[in-house]
Amino acid sequence: MSKQKMRHRPTVAIILSILFAGLGQLYNRRYVKGILFIVIEAVFLITFYNFLNIGLWGLITLGEIPMVDHSIFLLIQGLVSVIIIAFAAVLYYFNIIDARKDALRLQRGEPFPSLLESCGNVWDKGFPYVFVTPGLIMLLFVVVLPLLFMVSLAFTDYNLYNSPPRHLLHWVGFKNFKNLVSVPIWQDTFFSVFAWTIVWTIVATTLQIALGLFLAILVNDPRIKFKRFIRTVLILPWAVPAFVTILVFAAMFNDKFGAINRDILSAFGVMIPWMTDPFWTKVALILIQTWLGFPFVFALFTGVLQSISRDWYEAAEMDGATRWQKFRSITLPHVLYATAPLLIMQYAGNFNNFNIIYLFNDGGPAVRGQNAGGTDILISWVYDLTFTTNNYNMAAAISIIIGLIVSGFALYQFRRTRSFKEEGNI
């Protein structure tokens, strides 16, 4: 017995299970498990071999014969193959770990759990995966796979003139990104759209937060009555679906027959070209977004303001603090500390606020020498490039840039979210 113990080597088990899943387990004399693993790998190889083979070939070449090979379908099959292989690799890794564990056990001469016990073990350990799998598969195919597809497109030459099935696509490396910053028309458009996106995000979001904060403080004043009623009315713009209100505003701001010019400004003898002058369209967009966005911030701040203890203010009054000092050193820090992640989300949301730009004026008015409208932000430009001019590759390249910026927001969020720090200790 002791001789056998010495002779049983975990390394052999590991190498065997790398060669083919289950061999290591057989070497460990766990026959049922070993045969089961072998059958699973065999079935996997038989069912998926062709699919994976074509998928990987397609992912690398994107097809070789026009009209026969459809690059887009090959690309998707390739990405699906990569996902399946990643899954298989994880399972394979567990197979190797399992072989090593059992081999070590055998070496130490410990008894194995009975078949029934190990079945129960697997059920208990594997249970969370059973629960997660259905949702995870949906997530993979509806969210992750499309994102991977988009990322891949940015490195191809897929556009209106070069589209399957008539033509094949090719991998072009970083060419699209280079064109974006070096070909004059793309360069001009990209920088002006990018600049406006930043201005839009900062100005519109800051305005809506400032107005929300201001109103929350006003309504919170103890001398004000009918608080419930006032709060309900102030939240109304949030309650009405945004796509309805934006379209209504688009009609109201119409240059010729909109209510703003016809009923309000005409009293002062002014006509403002809201829809035809880029500057005024931008002003209108910022005003509308402030209208749409302040109620959320207002509701949020109202909740926080009510939770600040009166003691703070009383102590400050004892010290003879002015109202501004109380605001600066008590109210503001409290409010901002409690809501910072949500406020950052507001900035991120406006950065990608496609609805308002598209529904209000479709990114217009048009600007000469650019292939985006005067008020297009990055995301609405991507939409136009995709669905109007079919410049899929450029749209994908810009999407990646959006993605990188959004990840910046996400990174901040990671560091802020307290529970993540707690999660780290588990």
In the bound complex, what is the minimum distance in angstroms from residue 42's beta carbon to other proteins?
A: 25
Long-range contacts of 49-54 (CB under 8 A, 24+ apart): 51/77, 51/81, 52/81, 52/84, 52/85
Q: Which of 20, 44, 57, 149 binds other proteins (CB under 8 A)?
A: 149
Q: Which of 87, 127, 191, 279 binds other proteins (CB under 8 A)?
A: 127
The values of phi and psi at residue 366, to 5°, are: -65, 150
Q: Which of 138, 183, 199, 332 binds other proteins (CB under 8 A)?
A: 138
Q: Which residues, other chains included, contact 251 with Cβ-Cβ below 8 Å and sequence gap of 6+?
A: 258, 259
Binding range to other proteins, per CB under 8 A, among 8-16, 44-52, 190-198, 399-407:
399-407
In the bound complex, what is the minimum distance in angstroms from residue 394's beta carbon to other proteins?
A: 12
Contact mark string toward other proteins, 299..318, x via CB under 8 A: xx--xx--------------
In the bound complex, what is the minimum distance in angstroms from residue 364's beta carbon to other proteins?
A: 11
Binding range to other proteins, per CB under 8 A, among 39-47, 60-68, 185-193, 220-228:
220-228
Q: Cis peptide before 165, with omega less than 30 degrees from 0?
A: yes
> Which residues from 164-203 bind other proteins, rule CB under 8 A?
none
Q: How many residues does the chain have?
A: 426
Q: What share of the chain is helix, strand, coil (3-state, %, to 5)?
A: 75, 0, 20
Q: Which of 243, 266, 273, 389 binds other proteins (CB under 8 A)?
A: 243
Closer by beta carbon to other proteins, 8 or else 159: 159
Long-range contacts of 54-57 (CB under 8 A, 24+ apart): 55/79, 55/80, 55/81, 55/82, 56/81, 56/82
Q: Which residues pair with 366 in a beta bridge?
A: 373
In the bound complex, what is the minimum distance in angstroms from residue 5's beta carbon to other proteins?
A: 30
Contact mark string toward other proteins, 324..353, x via CB under 8 A: --------------xxxxx-----x---x-
71 in Cβ contact with 129 (< 8 Å): no
357 in Cβ contact with 382 (< 8 Å): no
